[in-house]
């Protein structure tokens, strides 16, 4: 039943598929992000309580959400890599990890900056904040394990096993806000999108946020695809098809 | 040598480690009653081949068949019939010769009701039963590892440089044991840099090149 | 080609590992000593006020359990890897998962059992209210096997690396943090005479998950490491 | 028969051991992340109240120091013993004490230095009052070399086999607890803006004693172990 | 052989390990230009003797003299003039061949200004410079350990079973190196279970019995 995956698992096929996909992520991503950021940071109305400091939400929320999303993506790649022994999935795993880690770091950093005016402290051991920190540790663990191995295939497999095991933390991070009483905001956005009739957030704020959300996705996915393609070329330098591409500059 | 009689077969096995191809499309049929000596320079891939056959190492491609069936399909039968002693001999340095031996015997399905003193005597370990293996000489530790050959009922032995550290008497003893095993219809695959002084046609030599 | 039953192999493995460990006394004494040092340290650090102590007691006990498990983990496969016993284990005629289970059991016996035995003493030292003691023991019973089982994954991944304990802990602690959170939540509830059923149920779920899945993950990890 | 100077040998030993420990450049981050993870455990376990955290902060930081020291200790001589590097070290044409000092330095660099580097961050995370930070750093500077030096004795004793194990623990325990008491006393004094000179002086005395005597003891222990 | 010419002397050395007396009142004089092969069955005490000479093991009684002086009185000179390679070869598995070699060279007072590629080539380790020793074959690891013989300026070599794991070419290479060392006025003490094919009278054989 997984046979359909195999044609794409050949590095060359993946490379070509990626080449086709890249513009579909990169350009919309850049445009959405530009629009969303300008809209959010400049044009959206100031919050009646928080003034302008709330604007950091346009970076904070997308990065926080995709930090988790990319982790799941990484775990799926890991599953494919470990179970079906597909090399391109191993490379995808390692292409995703640093991007996810940076997203996590951005969310932590922006959260901390936001927390200073809002809660009067840079950091607090609140469940969500802590669990996001743990997510960062998970990413770092996967990356550290990968580089620790001399043989990169072995490293990728080991990192993949760890990534899969770590998935159990994702629901915990997401539900942390419900399970513990915390300072941090609940999932307003998710609720809002599912219950559009009773918005808890003004539309002028929601829309740029959504635009940013997809902008982040596009740009980060494009980054991942580019990293993956670089990796494929690097690993396959000696193959004729890669040589042709490198020479032809296509 | 009828195809069906092979105890074990390696088919088109290719192994790559690091960036080097150790061997490509290697075929090997192991028949009962025969001793296979893998030869080749250091780093040729002898140990790798043994580990691939045992299932410790994944080859890049190729299959290992045990009694005509894919090894991974009959894993348990295969392992019950296999005795593997590698460079690292799995002798626990904290345990005494006796304890090591009893553990090996039990995992081979031959639990020792009473301590196998005779075997220890044969191996020259008498009087040292209570000494932890770490406090024995290199050759004595090797003898503990090889003691497994006497408590095992496996048909297929895979031995990586079994003669290391052994003195002349030890090597002779090992040869005797090999003989008995082959007589009983077993098969042996081993590596050794020393030529085996082995009379008779039951010795098959396989040369691995150091390819780059 | 004698048949050996799975149970025999499991028992033999456990017996051998216990023998090896008990011969090297430091192996199982070190975690306990560490535990005692940590537990004595906190009253010294925060002062002897019983209420503060009681407040932090659940956390301190659990963090110490976690860290002392960590100390014992290093050994789980490393020596075996070095002397070839690991390969021998992978070639035993039984499912690798079973042998892994044996390793987990041994680790638990060596690090968690002593902790369980001295837990009343620890509770006393940290002025934990007596009504919380049964809950403490239950959380330890439910949680420590998870430590051993999840820990095994980390060690299996890193055996061939020969890296410091820092990498191992970096991999494992994030995985174990949820356990810590639920355990301390249960104990806190117990201290205030509330029901601890919720967190305990979560811990039980973790236990089932860990015992079920970890042998699989460990097997995969070991095969990668030995390769 | 070329002459090699003591300094060359010491530097070469340190360099090799650092290389072994830090195969990749990025690896030197591992201990730091490890410490962050360990520190994270405590607020999770005892609750986020800033005043409680500040109270237990010295204890937490010292427990982490102890843990990372213990995790690193095992490595200090054991691997060398197993692969023969220890014998090689004993046969270097320089005083054995010097080589031991090299080992202690490496251990300190790998386990204590990262802690020192991130101690300001830890203080922040644990809401330690800012005026206590310099004292924290001083206690770490004075105390962590003692951990490494005394730890070396224990490992050297246990490295060959059995016996020493219990000894290590017995040795470490009575030595560590006073160290921790003085360290936390100094920190507490600092938190309340009192003078920390007394406990610090005691720690300095420990340091001098440990650095002076430990190489001798380690040398003797190693010679017994290798025998 | 004039007494004064001895590089090293063992006088009345007795060694007891566990409850066994390995040898009693053993005398040995090591002269420049000679190769001493210690022979004997497993556990006879060959390694113990080598370790006693090197100073790693304390004999029950007896003295070791270096150039006529008690070894412990001239420890530094003695150690500068000694190269000891035991069963465990002190090759760090985490480090590459090159790094191991550079460390050895530096501790021998022969720091390599540039990587000793020629030596690596001679030892058949070319192309594997960047591989950690743990990922090399048994024989390749042994070669790294023995590379020390090429970067050392010590006069006295003590080698415990140096031929272990080496292939035929490796053994030949080693013999060459031995020859050069003896020519240059060095001395070698080694153990080996294989007979050395060594022409000429510079070989001295010493038989240790397994006494009980
Ligand atoms: C370092 C500090 C912070 C961290 C680590 C953090 C982490 C997160 C995470 C992980 C999410 C995504 C939740 C999910 O999708 O399930 C999130 C969303 C959010 N955060 Fe933060 N946060 C921090 C600080 C703050 C602060 C100070 C505020 C404002 C008071 C804030 C407001 C929000 C909001 C409004 C959302 C969107 C919630 C939703 O609708 O799902 N965060 N944050
Ligand atoms: N670390 C040790 N502690 C105590 N006794 C030991 C130790 N190592 C060896 N022995 C004892 O000393 C005796 C001699 O050992 P030694 O290693 O010198 O033998 P050997 O001649 O080198 O043997 P081999 O040929 O096997 O290497 C052995 O019988 C052993 O029991
Ligand atoms: N653990 C490992 N990881 C990666 N590569 C390895 C590993 N072990 C060995 N190799 C590589 O595989 C090649 C073959 O090694 P192998 O151990 O099979 O050789 P061998 O024929 O047994 O040599 P020897 O006679 O020295 O024992 C070596 O060149 C080595 O570089
Ligand atoms: Mg080999
Ligand atoms: Mg010997």
Distance of alpha carbon A113 from alpha carbon A121, whole angstroms? 9
How many helical (H) and strand (E) elements, i.e. helices and strands, does chain E have? 7, 9
Domain shared by B107 and B194, yes or no: no
| pLDDT, mean over chain D | 83
Nearest ligand, CA of residue B165? 2
| pLDDT, mean over chain B | 88
DSSP characters over D119-160: HHHHHHHTT--GGGHHHHHHHHHHHHHHHHHHHHHHHHHHSS
Chain B residues touching residue E41 (CB < 8 angstroms): 124, 139, 167-170
Closest-approach residue (CA) in chain D for B94: D161
Question: How large is the average pLDDT for residues C138-159?
Answer: 92
Q: What are phi and psi of E195, to 5 degrees?
A: -65, 135
Q: Quote the minimal CA–CA distance from E172 to chain B in Å.
A: 13
Helix (H, G, I), strand (E, B), or coil: what is residue E36?
A: strand
Confirm whether D3 is domain-assigned: no
Domain shared by B140 and B171, yes or no: no
Residue with tokens 């044409």: D93
Domain total in chain E:
2
Contact B94 D161 (CB under 8 A): yes
**ipTM of the complex, rounded to two decimals:** 0.85
Contact E139 B212 (CB under 8 A): no
* DSSP H stretches of helix in chain A: 6-9, 11-38, 57-84, 87-119, 127-148, 152-166, 169-179, 188-194, 203-235, 240-248
pLDDT value of residue D98: 92
Which of residues E114 and B152 earns the better pLDDT score? B152
> Residue E33 is part of a domain; what is its CATH number?
3.40.50.300
Chain C residues touching residue E134 (CB < 8 angstroms): 160, 162
B17 ligand 3 Cβ < 6 A: yes
Contact in structure between A156 and A91 (CB atoms under 8 Å): yes
> Where are the strands (E) in chain E, listed by range?
8-17, 20-30, 35-39, 61-66, 69-70, 82-85, 156-160, 187-191, 203-207
Atom number in ligand 2 closest to CA B131: 31
Distance of alpha carbon E78 from alpha carbon E94, whole angstroms? 30
pLDDT value of residue A52: 67
Percent above pLDDT 90 for chain D: 22
pLDDT value of residue A245: 80
User: By mean pLDDT, which of C46-60, E42-56, E70-84 is the weakest?
Assistant: C46-60
Confirm whether C209 is domain-assigned: yes
The reported pTM is 0.87
Atom number in ligand 2 closest to CA B137: 17
* pLDDT tens per residue across span B188-206: 999 998 888 776 668 888 8
Q: Which two tokens stand for residue C176?
A: 């174990």
- CA A78-A80-A86 angle, to 5 degrees, is 105
Interface list for chain E against chain A, based on CB atoms closer than 8 Å: 131-132, 135
Instruction: For residue B13, give the H/E element and its range.
Output: strand B8-17
pLDDT value of residue E3: 46
Q: Which two tokens stand for residue B61?
A: 């491609």
Question: How large is the average pLDDT for residues B1-19?
Answer: 79
pLDDT value of residue E212: 66
pLDDT band at D217 (very low <50, low <70, confident <90, very high): confident
Q: Is C162 on the interface with E (CB under 8 A)?
A: yes
pLDDT band at C25 (very low <50, low <70, confident <90, very high): low
Question: How large is the average pLDDT for residues E114-140?
Answer: 86
User: By mean pLDDT, which of B51-65, B113-127, E66-80 is the weakest?
Assistant: B113-127
Q: Quote the minimal CA–CA distance from E164 to chain B in Å.
A: 6
Kindly tell me the sign of the dihedral angle through the C-alpha atoms of A83, A88, A91, A97. negative
User: By mean pLDDT, which of C108-112, C164-168, E87-91, E159-163 is the weakest?
Assistant: C164-168
- The overall longest dimension of chain A from CA atoms, in Å, is 62
Q: What share of chain D is helix, strand, coil (3-state, %, to 5)?
A: 85, 0, 15
Is the pLDDT confidence value at C28 over 70?
A: no
Distance in angstroms between the alpha carbons of the first and the last residue of chain C: 26
Q: Quote the minimal CA–CA distance from E103 to chain D in Å.
A: 7
Domain total in chain D:
1
Residue with tokens 């003085």: D182
Confirm whether D163 is domain-assigned: yes
Nearest ligand, CA of residue E46? 2
Confirm whether C72 is domain-assigned: yes
Distance D111 CA to ligand 4 centre (A): 37
Confirm whether D185 is domain-assigned: yes
Q: Which two tokens stand for residue A238?
A: 């000696």
Beta strands at B35-39 and B156-160: parallel, antiparallel or unpaired:
unpaired
Query: Please, which residues have CB within 8 angstroms of residue B148's CB and are 6 or more apart in sequence?
Result: B83, B85, B104, B108
Q: Is B134 on the interface with D (CB under 8 A)?
A: yes
For residue C183, give the nearest of C84, C124, C115 by alpha carbon: C115
Which of residues A183 and B99 earns the better pLDDT score? B99
Closest-approach residue (CA) in chain D for B132: D161
For residue C212, give the nearest of C100, C80, C71 by alpha carbon: C100
Which of residues A199 and C37 earns the better pLDDT score? C37
Atom number in ligand 3 closest to CA B87: 27
Domain ranges, residue E108: 90-152
Closest-approach residue (CA) in chain C for D110: C164
pLDDT value of residue A197: 45
Is the pLDDT confidence value at D80 over 80?
A: yes
Confirm whether D219 is domain-assigned: yes
Contact in structure between D161 and D223 (CB atoms under 8 Å): no
* pLDDT tens per residue across span A167-214: 888 887 777 656 655 556 655 555 544 444 444 566 667 777 888 889
Contact B94 C16 (CB under 8 A): no
CA distances from C103 to C73, C117, C160, C205 (A): 10, 21, 17, 22
Distance in angstroms between the alpha carbons of the first and the last residue of chain A: 34
| pLDDT, mean over chain C | 85
User: By mean pLDDT, which of A66-80, C182-196, D108-122 is the weakest?
Assistant: C182-196
pLDDT band at E110 (very low <50, low <70, confident <90, very high): confident
Q: Quote the minimal CA–CA distance from E152 to chain C in Å.
A: 29
Domain shared by B124 and B175, yes or no: no
pLDDT band at C60 (very low <50, low <70, confident <90, very high): confident
DSSP characters over chain C: -----HHHHHHHHHHHHHHHHHHSHHHHHHHHHHHHHHHHHHHHHH-S-HHHHHHHHHHHHHHHHHHHHHHHHTHHHHHHHHHTHHHHHHTSSS-HHHHHHHHHHHHIIIIIHHHHHHHHHHHHHTT--GGGHHHHHHHHHHHHHHHHHHHHHHHHHHGGG---HHHHHHHHHHHHHHHHHHHHHHHHHHHTT---HHHHHHHHHHHHHHHHHHHHHHHHHHHHHH-
Q: Which two tokens stand for residue B167?
A: 């003195």
Domain shared by E137 and E166, yes or no: no
Domain shared by E160 and E61, yes or no: yes
Kindly tell me the sign of the dihedral angle through the C-alpha atoms of C176, C182, C188, C193. negative
Contact E127 B212 (CB under 8 A): yes
* C-beta pairs of D79-82 under 8 Å, 24+ apart in sequence: D79/C162, D81/D159, D81/D160, D81/D225, D81/D226, D82/C82, D82/E88
For residue B147, the 8-state DSSP code is: T
For residue D143, give the nearest of D106, D189, D190, D177 by alpha carbon: D177
Q: Hey, which of B16, B18, B26, B54 would you mutate to test ligand 3's pocket, going by the most ligand atoms within 8 Å of its Cβ?
A: B18
Q: Which of residues B135, B152, B169 is at a domain's end? A: B152
pLDDT band at D79 (very low <50, low <70, confident <90, very high): confident
Domain shared by B15 and B77, yes or no: yes
Q: What are phi and psi of A47, to 5 degrees?
A: -75, 145
pLDDT value of residue A87: 84
Confirm whether C210 is domain-assigned: yes
Domain shared by E77 and E4, yes or no: yes
B46 ligand 3 Cβ < 6 A: yes
Which of residues B111 and C59 earns the better pLDDT score? C59
For residue A47, the 8-state DSSP code is: B
Domain shared by E68 and E96, yes or no: no
pLDDT value of residue B2: 44
A55 ligand 1 Cβ < 6 A: no
Query: Please, which residues have CB within 8 angstroms of residue A105's CB and are 6 or more apart in sequence?
Result: A136
Spans of all domains in chain A: 23-41+54-240
Closest-approach residue (CA) in chain A for C153: A162
Q: Hey, which of A51, A101, A184 would you mutate to test ligand 1's pocket, going by the most ligand atoms within 8 Å of its Cβ?
A: A184
Query: Please, which residues have CB within 8 angstroms of residue D160's CB and are 6 or more apart in sequence?
Result: B134, D81, D224, D225, D226, D227
Choose from B135-144, C154-163, D146-155 the range with maximum mean pLDDT. Answer: B135-144
Is the pLDDT confidence value at C48 over 90?
A: no
Q: Is C26 on the interface with E (CB under 8 A)?
A: no
Which of residues B54 and A248 earns the better pLDDT score? B54
Distance of alpha carbon A62 from alpha carbon A211, whole angstroms? 10
Q: Quote the minimal CA–CA distance from D46 to chain A in Å.
A: 10
Cβ–Cβ contacts within 10 Å for residue A50, how many?
14
Residue with tokens 């193959």: A239
Contact A161 C171 (CB under 8 A): no
Distance D190 CA to ligand 1 centre (A): 36
Distance A110 CA to ligand 1 centre (A): 9
Question: How large is the average pLDDT for residues C204-225?
Answer: 91
Distance of alpha carbon E211 from alpha carbon E209, whole angstroms? 6
CA distances from A49 to A38, A45, A61, A110, A201 (A): 21, 12, 18, 19, 13
When computed from its CA atoms, the radius of gyration of chain A, rounded to whole angstroms, is 20
Residue with tokens 């902060």: D57
Domain ranges, residue D149: 21-226
pLDDT band at B109 (very low <50, low <70, confident <90, very high): confident
Distance E141 CA to ligand 3 centre (A): 10
Chain E residues touching residue B170 (CB < 8 angstroms): 41-42
Nearest ligand, CA of residue D227? 2
Residue with tokens 């936390």: D184
pLDDT value of residue E159: 95
Instruction: For residue D67, give the H/E element and its range.
Output: helix D50-83
Domain shared by E32 and E136, yes or no: no
**C171, C173, C177: residue with CB nearest A145:** C171
Closest-approach residue (CA) in chain C for E94: C162
Contact in structure between B49 and B100 (CB atoms under 8 Å): no
Contact in structure between A159 and D52 (CB atoms under 8 Å): no
Confirm whether D6 is domain-assigned: no
Contact in structure between C2 and B108 (CB atoms under 8 Å): yes
The interaxial angle of helices A127-148 and A169-179, nearest 10 deg, is 170
pLDDT value of residue D205: 92
Which of residues E205 and C163 earns the better pLDDT score? E205
pLDDT value of residue E128: 84
E140 ligand 3 Cβ < 6 A: yes
Q: Is D163 on the interface with E (CB under 8 A)?
A: no
pLDDT band at B75 (very low <50, low <70, confident <90, very high): very high
Query: Please, which residues have CB within 8 angstroms of residue D170's CB and are 6 or more apart in sequence?
Result: none
Domain shared by E110 and E172, yes or no: no
Domain shared by B74 and B131, yes or no: no
A209 ligand 1 Cβ < 6 A: no
Q: Quote the minimal CA–CA distance from E205 to chain C in Å.
A: 33
Each residue's pLDDT, cut to its tens digit, for chain A (250 residues) gives 445 555 566 788 888 888 888 888 888 888 888 888 877 777 766 666 666 667 788 888 899 989 999 999 999 999 988 888 788 888 999 999 999 999 999 999 998 888 888 777 777 777 778 778 889 999 999 998 888 887 788 888 899 999 998 888 888 777 765 665 555 665 555 554 444 444 456 666 777 788 888 988 988 999 999 999 888 888 887 778 878 888 876 5
């Amino acid at each position: 039943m997984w046979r359909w995956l195999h044609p794409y698992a050949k590095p060359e096929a993946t490379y070509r598929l990626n080449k086709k996909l890249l513009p579909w992520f990169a350009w919309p991503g850049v445009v959405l992000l530009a629009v969303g950021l300008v809209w959010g940071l400049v044009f959206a109305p100031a919050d009646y309580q928080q003034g302008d400091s709330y604007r950091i939400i346009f970076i904070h929320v997308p990065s926080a959400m995709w930090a988790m999303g990319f982790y799941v993506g990484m775990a799926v790649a890991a599953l494919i890599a470990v179970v079906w022994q597909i090399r391109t999935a191993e490379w995808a795993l390692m292409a995703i990890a640093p991007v996810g880690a940076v997203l996590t770091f951005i969310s932590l950093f922006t959260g901390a900056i936001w927390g200073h005016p809002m809660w009067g402290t840079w950091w607090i051991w609140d469940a969500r904040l802590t669990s996001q920190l743990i997510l960062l540790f998970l990413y770092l663990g996967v990356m550290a394990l990968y580089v620790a191995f001399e043989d990169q295939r072995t490293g990728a497999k080991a990192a993949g096993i760890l990534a899969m095991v770590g998935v159990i933390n994702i629901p915990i991070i997401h539900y942390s806000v419900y399970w513990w009483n915390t300072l941090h905001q609940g999932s307003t956005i998710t609720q809002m999108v599912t219950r559009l009739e009773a918005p808890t957030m003004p539309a002028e704020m929601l829309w740029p946020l959504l635009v940013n959300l997809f902008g982040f996705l596009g740009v980060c996915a494009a980054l991942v695809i580019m990293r993956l393609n670089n990796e494929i070329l690097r690993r396959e330098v000696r193959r004729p098809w890669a040589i042709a591409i490198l020479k032809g500059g296509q | 040598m009828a195809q069906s009689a092979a105890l074990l077969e390696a088919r088109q096995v290719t192994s790559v480690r690091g960036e080097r191809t150790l061997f490509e499309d290697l075929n090997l049929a192991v028949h009962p009653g025969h001793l296979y000596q893998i030869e080749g320079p250091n780093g040729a891939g002898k140990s790798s081949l043994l580990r691939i056959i045992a299932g410790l190492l994944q080859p890049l491609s190729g299959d290992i068949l045990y009694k005509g069936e894919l090894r991974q399909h009959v894993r348990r039968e295969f392992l019950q019939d296999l005795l593997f002693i590698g460079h690292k001999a799995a002798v626990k340095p904290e345990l005494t010769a006796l304890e090591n031996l009893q553990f090996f015997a039990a995992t081979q399905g031959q639990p020792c009701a009473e301590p196998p003193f005779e075997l220890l005597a044969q191996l020259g370990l008498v009087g040292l039963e209570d000494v932890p293996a770490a406090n024995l000489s290199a050759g004595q530790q090797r003898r503990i590892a090889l003691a497994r050959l006497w408590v095992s009922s496996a048909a297929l032995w895979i031995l990586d440089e079994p003669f290391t550290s052994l003195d002349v008497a030890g090597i002779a003893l090992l040869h005797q044991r090999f003989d008995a095993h082959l007589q009983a219809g077993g098969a042996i695959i081993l590596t050794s840099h020393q030529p085996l002084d082995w009379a008779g046609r039951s010795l098959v030599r396989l040369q691995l090149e150091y390819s780059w | 080609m004698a048949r050996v039953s799975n149970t025999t192999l499991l028992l033999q493995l456990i017996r051998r590992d216990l023998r090896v460990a008990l011969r090297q006394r430091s192996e199982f004494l070190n975690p306990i000593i560490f535990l005692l040092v940590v537990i004595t340290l906190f009253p010294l650090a925060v002062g002897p006020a019983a209420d503060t102590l009681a407040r932090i007691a659940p956390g301190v006990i659990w963090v110490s359990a976690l860290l002392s498990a960590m100390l014992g983990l290093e050994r789980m496969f490393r020596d075996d890897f070095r002397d070839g016993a690991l390969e021998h284990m992978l070639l035993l005629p039984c499912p690798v998962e079973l042998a892994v289970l044996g390793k987990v059991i041994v680790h638990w016996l060596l690090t968690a059992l002593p902790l369980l035995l001295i837990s009343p003493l620890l509770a006393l030292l940290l002025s934990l209210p007596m009504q919380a003691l049964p809950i403490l023991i239950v959380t330890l019973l439910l949680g420590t096997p998870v430590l051993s089982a999840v820990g095994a994954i980390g060690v299996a991944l890193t055996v061939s690396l020969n890296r410091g304990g820092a990498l191992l802990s970096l991999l494992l602690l994030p995985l174990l943090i949820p356990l810590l959170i639920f355990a301390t939540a249960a104990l806190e509830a117990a201290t205030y005479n509330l029901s601890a059923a919720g967190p305990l149920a979560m811990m039980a779920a973790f236990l089932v998950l860990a015992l079920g899945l970890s042998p699989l993950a460990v097997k995969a990890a070991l095969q990668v490491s030995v390769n």
